[in-house]
Structure 1
């Protein structure tokens, strides 16, 4: 009877329903007498808690506020080889029918909640040509590089071979097409990424191609469209795919983590780390671990957590694990390179990984950004500025473009290009008004440029968005996160604001 009530809606059933399940072979009067006797025995057995069992003339129930049912809790599972309510033997056919139905429902719920093994997205990359011959390879290059950029952030496989026909049971998850059209005006590519099971178009764009060399060498314009296509697909993929797929869940969690991470806000960074941990639980992909190491770096540089040494040690361990899991992933190489440069001042290690990243994926915005930081730390400002300029051009359509703008601002400061730094800092602040690092650099740059009113306005904004901010701390606290500005001697003009 406890089982019947505990697994019933609202933990309540009519008396007649219970009688039918336990004494279906008895007459109505005998079944009612058996129920009264059973209720009396149960109350005595429950002792001081006997009042959790409630009964009136029409129904019997349990006090829901005082009863906890383990098998109804999220994540509860029974050891393999065992059944729900195993060993409970009631010699009534109606009860046995009920028990079989409950076991079936429980097994279905458990199976639905059990994470499946990530088998990876299956992407079919293809091209068609119109009015040209040997140019087909250009479309193949474009389609495959988009696929490669997607595969850096979600477990995925590219498939070669015949086009997939409608209704084909062996169709994949994504179809990436780059159809080339040669006209009198030149060469154009129509790029389209399709979610095959649903037919939804996740991305499409008509791109003018200046020359075959632009595709082969992945110039800035081609790289930008490759990077944009992959980024847009990754943003929309969780909405198109079945959420039961580990790849879809992990991608959704990681994507949300990136939005939180690139705010630089303390609580948002903690939330980003939690989301990435959940993504790792779903799919142990090295890129999620690499992102976690970048979160630790941001927390360390921004002085957002009390134990900086612990953050440093954790970032190092996360770097190691990320490379162990996905050391050949260009995005992992880029992120780990940035962490080595920003956290550990390891110029040689950062350059080595960044070089590998851009060689493997010349259309990777993160790779060129990592190379910029590594070159700057390595004492090569000209190369640093060139790499940052390229990275920023590639990522100009990213929802996180303020990350590239901020980095370009810092590199420009290091390269003694204050006007260029102001332009990049203002761009970052427009995209993310609460981005504190951008506002800090603008404060110093405006003061250096004699734009005192703007500098005062930025100082006032920082006092609102950054707890504990003061001009005195900005100038005199060596631990305050404006290392490049301090190294270049750009803080003195701010003293006029004190």
Structure 2
């Protein structure tokens, strides 16, 4: 993100002399700084070059996301009226078109995952490792279109295709326990996608999917999925859909109005590349979030679309545990169907007891059925399992709400603080923290959060939060936690 001054002058003012071109560039930079306002320091200049602050910018084409419209044009409509610039622009546009052509639709065959174990290990250890590797594979196949493949060497298959990812688990006795080593490799390039060494005191911890094991399984799958777009061939639909959906999750879990709209578009693109019901389920949750956050004017239309999307998701992938967990959340809000929500959540968790998403849906199902202690304990476990996730604030925010509903305000504050640390722009977590601080008499902290809310939520006011019945703080209002906020008005 840096070019020499002379390069820019040559491309934008090729017909001017050096002194005039330099003067024009200085004038253009001055106008840019004025237009950028508070963000003027994005421009980084010295006597020889001009650059941009890479850490503060996002460039879609550098995020593995290739435009789906083959007719799209780079910098469409931009005209600098300089022949050198036009030559440069033609070359860049040609490169983009070549990229789009290379990424054209191909056969969707799914990602192949081989789960390999140490054949020399004792029978019980070997089976335990096989269970663990397959749990990681199951978590991956919930998030992308994937097939778990039996180890060709173990079954004597000579013509099986090479897998994309190989997951290996090994156990070594040490003292009264075992050392567990997990490694995931991208087979074609031998790149290590994930590895971890962990002590296991009891083998039953693996067989029973206890929290420490569930955390490792969830973490391994999450990191492997995050790296797949960087190692798989770019012309595979699975590559593009995984990259698009992953980026969509980052946008969705920001809870920002514009980001939610972008997240929906990204999930829609992912589905067009690979008709996986998971992307429809995520889209349904995005619409529900937009409705709950009052991000759009037509609330009824959002609800109607959320329901339609989750029906389609279940039609396509009703046996996907992650789809079931997401649909459980949407169904709870849309219909308040306690029995149906519990059934979906329980099925999701039985299918994948290591999924933090399934645990979260189960905790909310318990909450809906009035089983508060089970709801709190299951939510706390979900937070622990998702501790290393880049979206951990999603679980912390949910645990904050459940803690409030259980009248455990101290735990709610801890969860809300964790959520705001992980996601400084998350509005739901900040709203809860504001009310909780006010309720516990920490008015200075509450005022500080209110000032932060005014920056991250356009039009925010304490008056609206307390007095507007449509403002999205139903749990806080039901628990009487908005009354202390009046002291800040």
CA distance in 1, matches of 2:69, 2:302: 32
Gapped regions of structure 1 (runs ≥ 5): 1-72, 77-107
Please show how residues 111-130 of structure 1 align to structure 2 within 5 Å: 112-128=102-118
Equivalent in the alignment of 1:218: 209
Structure 1 126/460 Cα, relative in aligned 2: closer, same or farther at 3 Å?
same
Structure 2 counterpart SS, 1:263? coil
Please show how residues 111-150 of structure 1 align to structure 2 within 5 Å: 112-128=102-118, 132-150=122-140
Following superposition, the deviation at residue 332 of structure 1 comes to 0.2
Larger radius of gyration: 1
Following superposition, the deviation at residue 329 of structure 1 comes to 0.3
Equivalent in the alignment of 1:13: none
Please show how residues 210-359 of structure 1 align to structure 2 within 5 Å: 210-359=201-350
Following superposition, the deviation at residue 343 of structure 1 comes to 3.7
Following superposition, the deviation at residue 244 of structure 1 comes to 0.5
Question: Deviation string for 1:282-337 (max 9, x for gaps)?
Answer: 00001000000010011000000010000000000001000000000000000011
Structure 1 221/491 Cα, relative in aligned 2: closer, same or farther at 3 Å?
same
Following superposition, the deviation at residue 386 of structure 1 comes to 1.1
Question: Deviation string for 1:223-281 (max 9, x for gaps)?
Answer: 00000000000000100111101111110010000001000001111111111111001
Equivalent in the alignment of 1:177: 168
Please show how residues 46-65 of structure 1 align to structure 2 within 5 Å: none
CA distance in 2, matches of 1:136, 1:490: 53
TM-score normalised by structure 1 residue count = 0.76
Structure 2 counterpart SS, 1:134? helix
Equivalent in the alignment of 1:403: 394
CA contact (8 A) 2:393 2:420 kept: yes
Structure 2 counterpart SS, 1:189? strand
Equivalent in the alignment of 1:91: none
1:361 paired to 2:352: yes
CA contact (8 A) 1:129 1:179 kept: no
CA distance in 1, matches of 2:231, 2:128: 28
Equivalent in the alignment of 2:12: none
Match of 2:415 among 406, 424, 435: 424
Following superposition, the deviation at residue 390 of structure 1 comes to 1.0
CA contact (8 A) 2:103 2:234 kept: no
Structure 1 494/319 Cα, relative in aligned 2: closer, same or farther at 3 Å?
same
Following superposition, the deviation at residue 210 of structure 1 comes to 2.1
Structure 1 379/243 Cα, relative in aligned 2: closer, same or farther at 3 Å?
same
Question: Deviation string for 1:160-193 (max 9, x for gaps)?
Answer: 133499x988311010000111122411211011
Structure 2 counterpart SS, 1:198? coil
CA distance in 1, matches of 2:159, 2:192: 18
CA distance in 1, matches of 2:295, 2:335: 18
CA distance in 2, matches of 1:341, 1:133: 44
Gapped regions of structure 2 (runs ≥ 5): 1-67, 72-97
Corresponding pairs, count: 394
Equivalent in the alignment of 1:28: none
1:160 paired to 2:155: no
Match of 2:480 among 474, 482, 489: 489
CA contact (8 A) 2:176 2:201 kept: no
Following superposition, the deviation at residue 116 of structure 1 comes to 1.1
Structure 1 309/414 Cα, relative in aligned 2: closer, same or farther at 3 Å?
same
CA distance in 2, matches of 1:110, 1:271: 20
CA distance in 2, matches of 1:137, 1:423: 39
Please show how residues 419-498 of structure 1 align to structure 2 within 5 Å: 419-498=410-489
Following superposition, the deviation at residue 345 of structure 1 comes to 2.6
1:372 paired to 2:363: yes
Structure 2 counterpart SS, 1:114? coil
Structure 1 450/128 Cα, relative in aligned 2: closer, same or farther at 3 Å?
same
CA distance in 1, matches of 2:403, 2:320: 29
Match of 2:70 among 75, 78, 95: 75
CA distance in 1, matches of 2:473, 2:69: 46
Structure 1 452/284 Cα, relative in aligned 2: closer, same or farther at 3 Å?
same
CA distance in 2, matches of 1:257, 1:416: 34
Structure 1 286/181 Cα, relative in aligned 2: closer, same or farther at 3 Å?
same
Equivalent in the alignment of 2:42: none
CA contact (8 A) 2:400 2:413 kept: yes
Structure 2 counterpart SS, 1:135? helix
CA contact (8 A) 1:254 1:276 kept: yes
Following superposition, the deviation at residue 340 of structure 1 comes to 1.4
CA contact (8 A) 1:187 1:210 kept: yes
